[in-house]
A and B are shown apart, each in its own frame.
Chain A
Amino acid sequence: MDNLAELFHGFTIAVTVPHLALMAVGVLLGILVGVLPGLGAPNGVSLLLPLTFGMQPVSAIILLSSMYWGALFGGSVTSILFNIPGEPSSVATTFDGYPMARDGRPTTALATAFGSAAFGALVGVILITFLASWVAQVALAFGPPEYFAVYFLAFASFVGMGGAAPMKTVVALAIGFAVAAIGIDTVSGSVRLTMGIDELVKGVNFVVAVMGLFGIGELLVAVEEEFHARAVSSRIDWREVFRAVGRLPRHSVALLRSAAIGCWMGITPGGPTAASFMSYGIARRFSRRGRYFGTGEVEGIISPETADHAAGTSALLPMLSLGIPGSATAAVMMGGLMIWGLNPGPMLFVDQKDFVWGLIASMYVGNIVAVVLVLLTVPVFAALMRIPFVVIAPLIVIICVVGAYSVSNSYLDVVMMLGFGVVGYLFKKLFYPLAPLVLAIVIGDKAEDAFRQSMLMSKGSLGIFFANKLVTCLVVAGIALLLLPLALQLFARIFRKPNSPHTTNQEKVII
């Protein structure tokens, strides 16, 4: 129990008045950048970075990581209230969070999301505490073929478990891959699919895509449906915050399963985005109320949020122990580490015990501070839902335009965002699922790089995907998921079961 002793030492560093104050400041700033569109956690952390140069490294990392927690929570707020995910990893939260808020239960949706996110983060930190040395080895086992296998598994779980017609999912994935291919290709170094627009060499930013697909797309649909469901009479009820959190233990199976998925994806470097999508897909398949997913189901919020935070937290470990930043924010923090004169890597745990364990202890305390602060602000955010649609609609357009512009101060991004808005609208009208499209935009190019790197390593032989136990298991699981819908159909045909009458309803609720 060496780790435990170190952890208590860490607490003596983290739980001091100046550090607690830093956490509160960091969390509040984080919530602010999380809620403000276009100012995600990476931007917020890099803006704050110069302020930390004069600080002790421990104080500096506590401030920055607290800001990260705050931003993760804040990002869920816009996903739920406005259907605009601030980070790739909170896309899956919109699927049930937004319908629930629209139905007049924004307080419940927010409180559920925050409660389950806190649970996920807690599981992630506990894992870090006990498995520090072991985790580092697991991540090292991941070469290009293993990376590809993990991404493949994430895609396959959508085709097999997404609930939409599998062919429509495949089409959405394919469009996403094409969008992800725009820009410079890592493996050949050449410029692809820029269609004569010089600026497109930078590729399509995720924020630009989701703001259009979800924010503007949803708005167009709402305008067409004469925005009847909008005038929500949500009374702000403080007790509902605690009631929602109190109801969480009833969903303990979903909580534990999602936390497990999150931790696994965090350690094996799948990342929080893949984790939240996978967790949502699997919950939809295994939950008793799975067919109501997409209409504002509690477990549809719990699953992605828990997995997202569990993965986000446990992904800090590969950053510290191996120098692999699991997310853009982690990359900025790593830059900070170098500037403070620390080098991420296995030796950090030996040379800089105070720093590492101070940080881990601060993750416990910081998340508690974040959850308290964010729950206190729920009624304030929920009140936003009472603003009438005629006010909210132009506001959403402004938010999306400003957000898209501020990604890299470019008008092209604004035009593309509006274009994605039209795509989002068409997808909804034609019952194509948006989630696989977003997933492919976010990790499509990574999957492609990993596949082609593997092919370079094996000189073109697919045998590399069956070269060891780890990669074989991942690939076989992926193929199984991919064939699941086909097998089910065959099964149904053999036993001559009539098609389930839910099919059409189900398609309608798919986001």
Chain B
Amino acid sequence: MRGTSLFLLSVSAALLAGSAPAFAAWQPQKPIEFVATAGPGGGTDNLARAVQNIITKYKLTEQPIVVVNKGGGSGAEGYVYGKASAGDPYKVIFGTSNAWQQPLVSKVAFNYTDLTPIAAMAQDEFLLWVKQDAPYKTAGDYLKAAASGEFKMGGAQSKDTDEVLTRMIEKTGHVKLTYIPFKSGAEAAVQLAGGHLDSHVNNPSESLGQWRGATQRPLCVFSPKRLPAGPKITATEGWSDVPTCAEQGLDIKQYEQPRTVWLPGKVTPEQAAYYVDLMKKVQATPEWKDYIEKTSQVDTFLTGAEFDKFIKEDLEHVKLVASEQGWLIK
């Protein structure tokens, strides 16, 4: 028995070695697990499943891929799992900037340094949304009205990207907002449609249907330039018609949420290189373009030093806001 499996193993290894290019030092030998740090149906889950689908369709690896959801504790469950799987190159963790932001503000048992960064594959934009029939037409009007101090801003989770952005708006716009955390951006969107909130800062895909259905509209986008032109969302407007917040006098030039991919810690550089290469191949397919367009995200690919630099910068930024708010854990 053992002889046979050894034989099979060496044959398959030989076959793989023959088919793969000489420089690819490492190839997966067993099924790969994609860990989505979000529940089924969330943005991170959609990304993991889209990548899985593309890899399977183009047979980018011989090994089967399964997606598991570990979204408990705002994603902490998945990262803790990644930390516990140190040295295992068959677990790929899909997350967001949560990986480095969450350990700053709550006592979770992981840090992003416990993981091996692979890439940031897409950037989700943030917009300032108000109810369709709200009287203000620009971010400037909104800030003037918000000076009353009675405004309620909704968002997903506490001390996470949405609340950080809210605090930045407060500081830049010299207003005071009451931040109300919900489980997800989708919930905040429904609450805004019902008039229970005054605004929220959802990603495009979280409020697309609501905009088209004329229950809420975006005032401005937190991006250095307007979003790329795409199909019209309402009868007259598309994403590229939304002005940037900076041009409307709310001077926050850039705020984005990267969708990140990680391996557990203590994997070899060859193993990490294999997945970087795999994700690059995924990104070159038309299906990827399709996914990016349907979810209204921005296509990016940060890896290696660039990705590290991005994390460091973002971390500095969040640290500043968090320490001003007194959120940093001791």
B106 touches A335 (CB 8 A): no
**What is the bound-complex CA distance between A140 and B196, given in angstroms?**
9
A61 CB, min distance to chain B CBs, angstroms: 14
Which of B49, B178, B194, B214 lies in contact with A143, CB distance below 8 A? B194
Closest Cβ–Cβ distance, residue B134 to chain A (whole Å): 16
Contact B215 A335 (CB under 8 A): no
Residues in B whose Cβ lies below 8 Å from that of A351: 212
- A13 to B209 Cα, complex, angstroms: 24
Partner of A184 from B39, B42, B74 at Cβ < 8 Å: B74
Asked whether B97 is an interface residue with its Cβ less than 8 Å from the other chain, the reply is no
Of chain A, the residue at the smallest CB distance from B212 is A347
Question: Any chain B CB within 8 A of the CB of A325?
Answer: yes
Residue of B50, B69, B74, B214 near A346 (CB, 8 A) is B214
Known: A190-B106, A201-B109. A453 touches B182 (CB 8 A): yes
B287 to chain A, nearest CB (A): 9
* CB proximity to B under 8 Å, residues A436-493: 449, 453, 456-457, 459
The answer to whether the Cβ of A348 comes within 8 Å of any Cβ in the partner chain is yes
Interface size on A, residues (CB 8 A): 54
**Cα A183 to Cα B77 with chains together (Å):** 10
Query: If the complex has contacts A189-B181, A202-B77, A341-B294, are A347 and B53 also in contact, measured as CB distance less than 8 A?
Result: no
Q: Does A332 contact B (CB under 8 A)?
A: yes
Q: State in angstroms the CA–CA spacing of A455 and B14 once bound together.
A: 65
List the A side residues contacting B49 at CB < 8 Å: 49-50, 339
Q: Check B73–A345 contact: CB distance below 8 A.
A: no
Is B50 a contact of A339 with CB atoms below 8 Å? yes
Query: In whole angstroms, how far apart are the Cα atoms of A141 and B194 in the complex?
Result: 6
- Contact between B76 and A323, CB atoms less than 8 A apart: no
> Is A135 part of the contact surface with B, judged by Cβ < 8 Å?
no
In contact, B158 and A188 (Cβ under 8 angstroms): yes
**B187 is contacted by which of A198, A205, A324, A335 (Cβ under 8 Å)?**
A324
We find that the number of chain B residues with CB closer than 8 angstroms to chain A is 58
Is B279 interfacial (CB 8 A cutoff)?
A: no
A345 to B42, CA, bound (A): 16
Interchain CA distance A345-B52 in the complex, whole Å:
28
Looking at the complex, which one of B152, B158, B214 makes contact with A189 (CB distance below 8 Å)? B158
> Which one of A140, A144, A323, A335 contacts B45 once the chains associate, using CB atoms below 8 Å?
A335
**Chain A residue with Cβ nearest B56:** A50
Instruction: Give every chain B residue within 8 A of A347 (Cβ-Cβ).
Output: 209, 212-214
The answer to whether B294 touches A183, judged by C-beta atoms less than 8 angstroms apart, is no
Q: Complex formed: what's the CA distance from A344 to B189 in Å?
A: 12
Do A184 and B106 contact each other (CB < 8 Å), given the known contacts A50-B49, A339-B294? Answer: yes
**Chain A contacts for B111, CB-based, 8 A:** none
Q: Which residues of chain A are within 8 angstroms of B214 by Cβ–Cβ distance?
A: 346-347
Tell me if B68 and A345 are in contact (CB < 8 A).
no
Q: Cβ of A323 and Cβ of B158 under 8 Å apart? A: no
Q: Cβ of B160 and Cβ of A456 under 8 Å apart?
A: no
Instruction: Give the interface centre of A201, A202, A333 by most chain B CB atoms within 10 Å.
Output: A201
Nearest-neighbour CB distance to chain B for A333, whole angstroms, equals 8
Q: Report which residue of B194, B209, B295 has the largest number of chain A beta carbons within 10 angstroms of its beta carbon.
A: B209
B210 at the interface (CB under 8 A from A): yes
Q: Is the CB of B41 within 8 A of A346?
A: no
Residues of A within 8 A of B182 (CB): 186, 449, 453
Contact residues in B for A205 (Cβ distance below 8 Å): 72
Asked if A290 CB lies within 8 Å of chain B CBs, one says: no
Interchain CB contact under 8 A, A183 and B72: yes
By a CB distance below 8 angstroms, the chain A residues around B70 are 202, 408
Identify 9 residue pairs between A and B in the complex whose beta-carbon atoms are under 8 Å apart, listed by A's number: A140-B190, A143-B191, A198-B80, A198-B109, A328-B39, A335-B42, A346-B214, A408-B69, A457-B180
A-B residue pairs, 9 tightest by C-beta: A202-B72, A345-B209, A189-B158, A143-B196, A335-B41, A346-B213, A343-B209, A198-B109, A202-B77
